[in-house]
Amino acid sequence: MPCMTKLQFKNKWVLVTGASSGLGAEIARQLAANHGANLILLARRKDKLEQLKSELEGNTGVKVKLLIADLSKPGEVDQALDDILADDQLYAAVLNAAITHFGPHRDLSWTEYETMLQTNVNAVVRMTNRLTTYFENNNHEGGLMIVSSMAALIPIPYQAVYSGTKSFLLGFATALRFELKNKNFSITVFTPGGIETEMTEGEKFNDLRNWLTPVSQVAKDGLNAFEKRKLTHIPGFSNKMGAFLIKLLGRKFILTRMSSIYKSSLLKSEKSK
Residue 3 resides in a domain: no
Q: Specify if 242 maps to a domain.
A: yes
Active-site residue, 113 included: no
Domain of 150, in residue numbers = 13-271
Q: What does the alpha-carbon distance between residue 162 and residue 171 come to, in Å, rounded to a whole number?
A: 15
88 vs 199, residue with greater confidence? 88
Is residue 1 one of the residues assigned to a domain?
Answer: no
- Tell whether the model's pLDDT for residue 1 goes beyond 50: no
Q: What is the pLDDT of residues 167-195, one digit of tens each?
A: 999 999 999 999 999 999 999 999 998 77
The pTM score is 0.84
- How far apart are alpha carbons 256 and 247 in whole angstroms? 14
Q: Is residue 7 part of a domain?
A: no
Residue 200 has pLDDT above 60, yes or no: no
d(CA 74, CA 126): 8
Beta-carbon contacts of 201 under 8 Å, excluding residues fewer than 6 positions away, are: none
Q: Residue 270's pLDDT band (boundaries 50, 70, 90)? A: low
Residue 4 covered by a domain: no
Q: Partners of 42 in the beta sheet?
A: 17, 67
Residue in 91, 158, 162, 262 annotated catalytic = 162
Q: For residue range 64-103, what is the model confidence (pLDDT) as tens digits? A: 999 999 999 999 999 999 999 999 999 999 999 999 887 7
The three-state secondary structure class of 30 is helix
- Integer angstrom CA distances of residue 33 from 24, 30, 38, 58: 14, 5, 10, 11
The reply to whether 115 falls in a domain is yes
The pLDDT, as a whole number, for residue 55 is 97
Query: In the chain, what is the straight-line distance between the N-terminal and C-terminal CA atoms, in Å?
Result: 53
Name the residue type at position 201: E
- Predicted confidence band of residue 206 (pLDDT cuts 50, 70, 90): very low
| Distance of alpha carbon 16 from alpha carbon 13, whole angstroms | 10
Domain presence at residue 67: yes
- Residue 130 neighbours by CB under 8 Å, 6+ apart: 81, 85
Decide if 261 is inside a domain.
yes
Per-residue pLDDT at 271: 53
CATH number, domain with residue 47: 3.40.50.720
Number of domains comprising the chain = 1
